[in-house]
A and B are shown apart, each in its own frame.
Chain A
Amino acid sequence: MEFTFDLNTIWFILIGILLAGYAILDGFDLGVGSLQLLVKDDLERRILINSIGPVWDGNEVWLVTGGGALFAAFPHVYATVFSGFYTAFMILLFALIFRAVAIEFRSKQNSKIWRQSWDAAFCFASILIAFLMGVALGNIVQGIPLGPDKEFTGTFWTLISPYTVLVGITTVALFMMHGSIYLAMKTEGELQAKVSSWINNTIIFFVICYVTTTMSTLIYFPHMVEHFKSTPILFLVAILNMLAIANIPREIHHKRNWHAFLSSSASILALLTLFAIGLFPNIVLSNPNPEYSLTIYNAASSQKTLMIMLIIAIIGIPLVLAYTISIYRIFRGKVKIDTHSY
């Protein structure tokens, strides 16, 4: 497929950026959620939860906006994927609801059982969300059965395969690593020593999953590497990804947690870029009938809408970046618990 830099391609990239923004930002707070049961003391748990307190709902807005942008730019993808992944998606929605409510409710009561139940719900929901997102990505790589009318023809169980489960677990591992690095930045003293000790374990967990996923992708889904064969320069992204991952333990060793966090963010970005390059110009692969795949052309809105949306994005994205950066600046530094905290 010839690469043309048209509106459809721009929107493929922009939705990729929104999803990458979501993965990098909500990724760390899902990671924090998955890990917070590892500390037992209530004050320590509150510090972990408040490290993401002011930012988690802003992070989730990236997902909501990504969904809206997908609806507007590629309505067929939005319709096919969400109706096709119905049951899986409903479970994801329930997890998102529970997570939002758990963080809001847990500190409202002093009762131990109350707090422990919400903490468990928060942890479970965070892991489940990360896992299901991974399963969804796995299905996009593997391809899903589509009919000529662009409709999904499988069932819930079509979506569950060893490969998609593997990608799901990899995503959980990735977010745990990302979250533990974030926590190292936001904590101090004894608690920081504790969370720092998680980083190595999560890195090892992630690297094992990552290598296994990469091997199985190369073996079972060779279509994902075609662009890398025809345009070898793209292999640089894979190298950058490896370097970013390898850099994390180095930065941690030198106690430069912020640099480690940047590296981890860069590796998430690189991973999604590799995924996007492998997929392009398809968005949803049809398996077994590849001719029914949804591409950036047959699934897109009109050129006029893509243009309008581009103008909206050009106005909106600088504003979004400005808010995001200023919020993170205002809440930078170590977490302090006060009367307004969760």
Chain B
Amino acid sequence: MDFSFTDEQVDLREMVIKFARNELDYDLAEYDKNGEFPLEAWRKCAEMQFLGLPFDEEYGGGGSDFLTMSLVLNALGYACKDAGLVHAIATQVLCGMQIRMFGSEEQKQKYLPDVCSGKKIFAQAITEPDSGSDALSMRSRATWNGDGYLLNGTKMFITNGPIADVVIVFAVTDPDKKTLGGISCCFVEKGFAGFQQCNPIKKMGLTTLQNGELVFDACPIPPGNLMGKEGQGGMIFNESMEWERSFLPAAHLGTMERVLETSIRYAKERKSFGQSIGKFQSVSNKLAEMKMRLELGKLICWKAATLKDQGKRATLESSIGKLFISECLKQTCLDAVQIHGGYGYTTEYEIERDLRDSVAATIYSGTSELQYNIISRWLGL
């Protein structure tokens, strides 16, 4: 299998890195402390077409393939220290992918240009207060009333939720059916009656990413706002998770590369007992492990992206990649703090923020425990 990138892809990655270093230079420590979304940086990324990269040009997109999109996320994870912003971008793209695959032509015309331009912020609402990994056991109900649906329920931890203009909401439309046929998907827009966006939830990491509770109280949904067919929600959910688990880890690999380079630099500069600390095996072994995780992570991540570009399924590969890379990211950040010693524990060196951010990667988009379950099922267990 050929994992080499084209010259255009390599150039694009370099361009994104340069852009991120020059243009996404806001005071992240301040945004991190305040839990503030970097809207100006979002707009700059939109102008660079990062939000619309994989979508057709007729909708304002860049017409790129999935691997290229993954590579851009990888470059952002590397050069932009704000993992919250990168995650918000990935969520926007993911919503666009759902619309592209399952939306009607009318819905594509209506929503995809806004996905690409970033003028509207999108979110997908699956998780509920009582259903996380077991997402399809959701309780939110969309009930047909003759003119449309009435949506009732509460969604929790929704990424981009507090600031979203459009939310793709998953809800039960037929409680008598099993999850695969009983759940549907609909568009809810800011300002709909009975739709309330609560304040962002304070978190240990990814603080600039806005996550929150969404409440639907007899929220009327026009029939034209159903995405796909009634009962297709379970299928859409599966597809969505596979896309997400295939490309979000690419950003984590970028972060791992940055953290590794930072740690190598420090290990060479920092002296102890008359020599660089990198000369001590207890430190150099950590760095070697970090490098191994990075290179092995690339193999599964690029494989999953390549499969998606070939129009193939990557259910197993995306689960393995999501599990492996998110756990590696967490361990890499933990090792980086340890290598940096007392400085690593300070906010000034910014490693501690990467560590705080990394923990979330093992939870969202299906916890590590859930990925183990999926992989085990794939083994026939």
Partners in one complex: no
Interface residues of A (CB under 8 A from B): none
Interface residues of B (CB under 8 A from A): none
